Amino acid sequence: MINGRTRSSGPPIDLIAMVVATGERPPGSTVLGPEQEKVLARTRRAASVAEVAAELDLAVGVVRVILGDLRDMELIVIRPPAPAATFTGDHILKDVINGLRAL
């Protein structure tokens, strides 16, 4: 399935990264294996790496390697997870509360 590899080429793929297929395959593209076809079909709608693994009943490590291969073939796009919001401090909450009280 992944030829004994435990990692894909390129940057690591986060478990909550969003994955989506790019569209049609270019003519003369590489023949894909059955698992690669399943992953590619599932990513026609955007999904996280964890969702793809769970829905296809494949190990996350296997899915990451397959996604790396598909990314190398430019058949999918992997978007990193959105950064977590940062909390700027208590003063903002106090300003909001004071503003609500003023209403």
For each of the domains in the chain, give its residue range(s) and CATH number, in order of start: 18-102 (1.10.10)
Checking 95-100 for CB contacts under 8 A at 24+ apart, the result is none
pTM, rounded to two decimals: 0.72
* Structure confidence at residue 31 (pLDDT): 82
For 10-15, the CB contacts below 8 A with 24+ separation are 10/68, 10/71, 10/72, 12/64, 13/49, 13/64, 13/67, 13/68, 13/78, 14/49, 14/80, 14/81, 15/48, 15/49, 15/50, 15/60
Give the mean pLDDT of the chain.
Answer: 85
pLDDT at 45 (0 to 100)? 93
pLDDT per position as a tens digit, 19-42: 999 987 766 667 888 899 999 999
CA distance 68 to 62: 10
